[in-house]
Amino acid sequence: MVALSALADNSRAPEAVGPVPTAAQVAWQRLETYAFIHFGPNTFTDMEWGYGDTPAEAFNPTRLDCEQWVQTIVKAGMKGVILTCKHHDGFCLWPSRYTDYSVASSPFKRDVVRELSDACKKYGIRFGVYLSPWDRHQASYGTPEYVTYYYNQLEELMTQYGDIFEVWFDGANGGDGWYGGAREKREIDRSTYYNYLKAWGIVNRLQPNAVIFSDGGPGCRWVGNEKGFANPTNWSFLRIKEVYPGYPQYEELQSGHADGDAWCASECNTSIRPGWFYHEKEDTMVKSVDQLVDLYYRSVGHNGTFLLNFPVDREGLIHPIDSATVVQWHERIQRELSTNLLLGAKFTASDTRNKTYNASKMGDGEWETYWAPKDGVTVADITIKTKKDVTLNRIMLQEYIPLGQRVKEFVIEYKTCCGKWVPVIVDEETTTIGYKRIVRFAEKTASEWRIRILDARACPCINNIEGFYSNE
């Protein structure tokens, strides 16, 4: 019998190891950070979940300026924004043809979805929509008629506002018995009522590049908490048929399913304040720059994306405390992660596939080039020699995910002055890498560093290793 390795063609690129992402999923993950906006009647009634009976007249921002939102988001380095076009209270921020419970009936009149999508185009960021399936205003909620209404609204949003990068299907439905139109109790089985497959078909047909978010994807998944972090071990896979909006074992979503059969990376969502909607009393409760920096490392740095919510205030603006905080957050991350101290270092590996996939590809900053050992090699070392001593306390690693997520365990080491390899001290497990893993560790000074891949699903494909030092 011929050994498998003898059959491998190591002159070629490695074969993909499934599940693999679509091109749209890769482009989405590379956005890394983007904003959420919660805005609607709740903003004016000081509520989080309106009953759907607030008169449309209540919606009356005095200085609404979507360009102010987008300018803030751009200054915060974020690449897109998702708007609550309709939250659970059923009020529509655009003049929907299918209901009069919208901006059209408010004193404000203007189409907020239009103004925000236009501002996104003007400033070159992506636009996404949140359309709550649960609707406490519509009298038909709970009947098949409402589901048709929901699809119709989805079609409006998918056709009238240009390219959409993400569509958010919120699994929230209020509990076992809850209120529908006019505060009546309505019972539905949310796993069947909305026929999500049909809704997703509408998105796929009208916006083929949009990534569909729900507890279980199919485009990207909720991370299983609203605190904005993923676990350090984080697979971009799900056993996709098991997870649905409202999935009770949602804590599993913090790590994904190692044995999942579909690509479904995590999105880490949280609000910059305790609530999703604006409440004046929360002006003193805005998350600190330190808290947000920590969340960045535990979302983007844990192979997720970071979706940070801004509760737009009653004037129709991102509050100055929130905008100042988020800009400082971005500046701090820039300071921490823009000087790659491993730039120009010499990368060598214990195994190399061929010239194209050699270790020097890891420091070149290119997405498409990567190092890979030969087929079947799942344990390998990458050694990095710098010209002189460098002090590091962060290392960023990236896998070339178009070929799948592969690494299962690794360790970071440095060489001591007496020539001994010693692991750096990390306070979390170093298991998966995925699109991006940023490991923070107690600072060390050395001129030789080593990433040891201890286990992988197939030969690893690594396209980036960078090192940083932060004293903040």
Shortest reach from residue 92's CB to ligand FUL, in Å: 15
Listing DSSP states for 81-112 in one string gives EEEEEE-TT--BSS--TT-SSBGGGSSS---H
Q: How many CA atoms lie within 13 A of 262 on its CB side?
A: 15
Residue 69: CB partners within 8 Å, gap ≥ 6? Answer: 35, 37, 81, 116, 119, 310, 312, 317, 318
Please report, as a single letter, which amino acid is at residue 68: Q
Q: Does 276 bind ligand FUL (CB under 6 A)?
A: yes
Q: Are 167 and 156 in contact (CB under 8 A)?
A: no
Q: How many residues bind ligand FUL (CB under 6 A)?
A: 5
In the complex with ligand FUL, the residue whose CB is nearer, 48 or 118, is 48
In the complex with ligand FUL, the residue whose CB is nearer, 8 or 172, is 172
Residues 414-453 within binding reach of ligand FUL (CB under 6 A):
none
Q: Does 282 bind ligand FUL (CB under 6 A)?
A: no
In the complex with ligand FUL, the residue whose CB is nearer, 245 or 260, is 245
Shortest reach from residue 49's CB to ligand FUL, in Å: 6
Shortest reach from residue 269's CB to ligand FUL, in Å: 6
Shortest reach from residue 93's CB to ligand FUL, in Å: 14
Residues 119-178 within binding reach of ligand FUL (CB under 6 A):
170, 172
Cα 471 to the chain's mean position, in Å?
Answer: 27
Residues in contact with ligand FUL, shown as a per-residue x/- string from 40 to 59 under the rule CB under 6 A: --------x-----------
Shortest reach from residue 190's CB to ligand FUL, in Å: 12
Q: How many CA atoms lie within 13 A of 59 on its CB side?
A: 29
Shortest reach from residue 276's CB to ligand FUL, in Å: 4
Distance (Å, whole) CA 282 – CA 86? 23
In the complex with ligand FUL, the residue whose CB is nearer, 276 or 410, is 276
In the complex with ligand FUL, the residue whose CB is nearer, 134 or 161, is 134
Shortest reach from residue 347's CB to ligand FUL, in Å: 41
In the complex with ligand FUL, the residue whose CB is nearer, 170 or 413, is 170
In the complex with ligand FUL, the residue whose CB is nearer, 174 or 402, is 174
Cβ neighbours around 172 below 10 Å, total: 16
Listing DSSP states for 109-152 in one string gives ---HHHHHHHHHHHHT-EEEEEE-S--SS-TTTTSHHHHHHHHH
Burial class (CB within 10 angstroms; exposed 0-12, middle 13-18, buried 19+) of 50: buried
The terminus-to-terminus CA distance of the chain in angstroms comes to: 59
Q: Is 255 helix (H, G, I), strand (E, B) or coil?
A: coil
In the complex with ligand FUL, the residue whose CB is nearer, 44 or 370, is 44
Nearest residue to ligand FUL by CB is 172
Residues 10-39 within binding reach of ligand FUL (CB under 6 A):
none
Shortest reach from residue 199's CB to ligand FUL, in Å: 17
Which parts of this chain interact with ligand FUL (CB under 6 A)?
A: 48, 170, 172, 269, 276
